[in-house]
C-alpha cells in the first residue's frame, strides 16, 4: 500500500517534465466535499452558495492582498488531495484565500494546516474568513515572523507552501530541511516565474538538489509554482 502511494506521487511528478501548464486540469473541480475522510476532524458543514460568495469576494480583492489567483487556489486543493497531505504548513497567510483552498483539500484527507502571518490586520482578517468558510477546525494560525516561527515550530510536515517574503525562501529551506520535511514531502513555492529573480538562490539550489525532484509549472499561463518532492530514497 505504501509502495503504491509512493509510486503514484513520484509517477505524477516524473511524468510532468520540466515546465508544465495545467490550465485545463483544475478549472471544473466542484466545491463539494467528498465523503471519504481519512481520520482527523470530521468535515465541517457549509452552504456551497455561501462558500462561493465568500471566495468570490476574496478573489475580487486578491490584488490588494497578494493572494494566489483562483485557479492556483483550486490547484492547491487538488494537490493536497492528490498527495494525501496531512500536516501542512503555509508561510504567508494574508487574508486567508489560499488557506481556505487548502483547508477544503484537507477536509478530504483529514489533515490540518498551520499558517503564519506577520501582519496583524491580515492575520485577523484571515481568521474571520476561515471561520466563515467553516474551516476553523482545520487551521491553526500563528501571528509572527515566519523566519522566527519556522525555527521554533516542531513539524515534521508533509507539505509546505512557501508564499511569504520571496527573498526569504533560502532561509526557510534551511530551517525546514531536513528535519521538518518528511521524506516524500512537498515544498511548493509561489511566484516562481514572475518573481524568479527575488528567489534566484533558492531556485538554483533546489533544481539541482540531489534529494529533490523539482519542476516549475503554471496553471494560469502567467505566474506559477516551483514544486519540489523530497525523495524517499536518494
Ligand atoms: C503573497 S502574500 C500571501 C498570500 C496568501 N498565501 C494567499 O494566497 O492568500 C504574502 C504574505 O506574507 C506575509 N509575510 C511577508 N513576510 C513575512 C514574514 N517574514 N513572516 C510572516 N509573514 C510574512 C505578508 O504580510 C503577506 O500577507
Most confident of 14-18, 28-32, 39-43, 123-127: 123-127
Q: Output the residue whose Cα is nearest ligand 1's atom 8.
A: 67
Among residues 232, 233, 220, 226, the alpha carbon closest in space to that of 21 is found at 220
| pLDDT, mean of residues 17-35 | 38
Q: What is the pLDDT of residue 43?
A: 84
Reported as a single tens digit per residue, the pLDDT across 127-165 is 999 999 999 999 999 999 999 999 999 999 999 999 999
Q: For residues 71 and 219, is the Cβ–Cβ distance under 8 A?
A: yes
- 108 CA distance to ligand 1 middle (Å): 26
Q: How many CB atoms lie within 10 A of CB 44?
A: 15
Query: Does residue 145 line the site of ligand 1, with CB under 6 A?
Result: yes
- 88 CA distance to ligand 1 middle (Å): 16
Reported as a single tens digit per residue, the pLDDT across 54-87 is 999 999 999 999 999 999 999 999 999 999 999 9
* Ligand 1 atom nearest residue 90's Cα: 6
Q: Cα–Cα distance between 193 and 59 in angstroms, integer?
A: 21
Q: Cα–Cα distance between 182 and 160 in angstroms, integer?
A: 10
Query: Does residue 105 line the site of ligand 1, with CB under 6 A?
Result: no
Place of cell 481520520: 39
Mean pLDDT of the chain: 87
Query: Does residue 98 line the site of ligand 1, with CB under 6 A?
Result: yes
110: three-class secondary structure by DSSP: coil
The pTM of this model reads 0.86
Amino acid at each position: 500500500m505504501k509502495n503504491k502511494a509512493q509510486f503514484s506521487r513520484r509517477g505524477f511528478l516524473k511524468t510532468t517534465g520540466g515546465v508544465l501548464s495545467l490550465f485545463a486540469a483544475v478549472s471544473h473541480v466542484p466545491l463539494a466535499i467528498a465523503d471519504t475522510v481519512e481520520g482527523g476532524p470530521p468535515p465541517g458543514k457549509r452552504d456551497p452558495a455561501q462558500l462561493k460568495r465568500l471566495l468570490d469576494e476574496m478573489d475580487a480583492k486578491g490584488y490588494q492582498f497578494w493572494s494566489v489567483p483562483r485557479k492556483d487556489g483550486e490547484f492547491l486543493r487538488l494537490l493536497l488531495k492528490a498527495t494525501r497531505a496531512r500536516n501542512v504548513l503555509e508561510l504567508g497567510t494574508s487574508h486567508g484565500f489560499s488557506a481556505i483552498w487548502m483547508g477544503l483539500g484537507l477536509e478530504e484527507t483529514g489533515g490540518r494546516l498551520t499558517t503564519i502571518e506577520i501582519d496583524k490586520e491580515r492575520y485577523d482578517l484571515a481568521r474571520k474568513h476561515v471561520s466563515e468558510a467553516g474551516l476553523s477546525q482545520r487551521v491553526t494560525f500563528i501571528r509572527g515572523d515566519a523566519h522566527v516561527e519556522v525555527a521554533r515550530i516542531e513539524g515534521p510536515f508533509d507539505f509546505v507552501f512557501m508564499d511569504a517574503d520571496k527573498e526569504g525562501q533560502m532561509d526557510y529551506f534551511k530551517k525546514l530541511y531536513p528535519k521538518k520535511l518528511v521524506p516524500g514531502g512537498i515544498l511548493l513555492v509561489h511566484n516562481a516565474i514572475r518573481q524568479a529573480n527575488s528567489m534566484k538562490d533558492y531556485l538554483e539550489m533546489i533544481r539541482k538538489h540531489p534529494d529533490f525532484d523539482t519542476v516549475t509549472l503554471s496553471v494560469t499561463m502567467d505566474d506559477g509554482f516551483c514544486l519540489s518532492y523530497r525523495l524517499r530514497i536518494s
